[in-house]
C-alpha cells in the first residue's frame, strides 16, 4: 500500500510538495517523510492526494495515518488466498479503512469461489456441484434449466455477491 502524502499549507499556497510513502512504515520513516515534505511548526497539516493498493480499498484525503499503517500491517501478514478474499469483501461490501482491521480477523467467515464469475456459473455450481439437488433427476432436467436465471435468483436470496474475484459468500 502506498500513499502520496502532501503538505496542505504549501498546497493552499499553490505548491504541490509531497512524496510517496510505503505502508506499513515505522515512526522514524513517517517522521522522515514529514521532514521531507516540510511538515513543521509553520506547516502542520498534511493530506493524501493519491494512493495505490491492490485491494481496491478507497483511501480518503484525511485518513488517519495510524489506522492506515495498522491496516497495512494486517494486510502484510495475509497469504495470497486471504488477500483475494479480502479484496472480494471490500468490493462486495464497499468497506472503508477503519473496517478492515476487524475484517482481517474475521475472514474465516467468508468463502471465495474463484471459479464462479457469472450468474450462469453460480447456477450451474449450485445445481450440479453443491449437493443440494438430487443428481439423478437433475441430469434429465439440466437440458431445460436456465443456469443464469437460477444463479441470479440464488444470489438475490443469499448472503453473497459476485465480485471480480469470483463468488463471495458469508458463511456465518
The CATH number of 2-77 is 3.10.20.480
Alpha carbon 75 to chain centroid distance?
A: 10
Q: Taking residues 104-122, report their average pLDDT.
A: 91
pLDDT band with cut points at 50, 70 and 90 for residue 171: confident
| Phi, psi (deg, nearest 5) at residue 132 | -85, -5
pLDDT band with cut points at 50, 70 and 90 for residue 43: very high
Contact criterion met (CB below 8 Å) for 89 and 168: yes
SS3 content of the chain, % helix, strand, coil (to 5): 50, 20, 35
User: Does residue 135 register a pLDDT over 60?
Assistant: no
User: Does residue 169 register a pLDDT over 60?
Assistant: yes
For CATH 3.10.20.480, the residue range(s) in the chain are: 2-77
Q: What is the DSSP letter of 39?
A: -
- The predicted pLDDT at position 128 comes to 79
Question: Strand, helix or coil at 116?
Answer: coil
Which of 46-60, 107-121, 128-142 has the lowest average pLDDT? Answer: 128-142
- The predicted pLDDT at position 137 comes to 63
Least Cα distance to 100 among 85, 112, 117 occurs for 85
- The predicted pLDDT at position 136 comes to 55
* Whole-angstrom distance, CA of residue 74 vs CA of residue 3: 17
- The predicted pLDDT at position 138 comes to 63
- The predicted pLDDT at position 147 comes to 83
User: Does residue 77 register a pLDDT over 70?
Assistant: yes
Residues of the chain above pLDDT 90, percent: 60
The DSSP bridge partners found for residue 20 are: 4
Least Cα distance to 40 among 10, 64, 20 occurs for 10
pLDDT, tens digit, 9 for 90 and up, residues 49-72? 999 998 999 999 999 999 999 999
What would you report as the CA-atom Rg of the chain, rounded to the nearest whole angstrom? Answer: 22
The DSSP bridge partners found for residue 170 are: 110
- The predicted pLDDT at position 96 comes to 81
- The predicted pLDDT at position 141 comes to 67
User: Does residue 82 register a pLDDT over 60?
Assistant: yes
Amino acid at each position: 500500500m502506498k500513499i502520496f502524502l502532501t503538505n496542505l499549507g504549501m498546497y493552499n499556497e499553490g505548491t504541490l510538495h509531497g512524496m510517496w510513502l510505503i505502508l506499513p512504515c515505522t515512526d522514524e520513516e513517517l517522521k522522515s517523510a514529514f521532514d521531507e515534505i516540510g511538515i513543521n511548526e509553520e506547516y502542520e497539516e498534511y493530506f493524501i492526494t493519491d494512493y495505490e493498493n491492490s485491494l481496491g480499498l478507497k483511501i480518503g484525503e484525511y485518513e488517519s495515518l495510524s489506522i492506515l499503517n495498522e491496516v497495512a500491517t494486517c494486510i502484510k501478514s495475509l497469504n495470497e488466498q486471504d488477500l483475494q478474499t479480502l479484496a472480494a469483501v471490500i468490493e462486495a461490501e464497499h468497506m472503508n479503512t477503519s473496517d478492515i482491521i476487524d475484517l482481517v480477523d474475521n475472514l474465516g467467515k467468508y468463502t471465495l469461489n474463484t471459479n464462479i464469475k457469472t450468474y450462469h456459473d453460480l447456477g450451474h455450481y449450485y445445481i450440479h456441484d453443491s449437493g443440494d439437488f438430487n443428481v439423478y433427476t437433475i441430469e434429465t432436467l439440466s437440458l431445460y434449466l436456465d443456469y443464469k436465471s437460477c444463479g441470479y435468483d440464488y444470489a438475490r436470496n443469499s448472503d453473497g455477491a459476485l465480485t471480480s474475484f469470483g463468488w463471495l459468500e458469508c458463511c456465518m
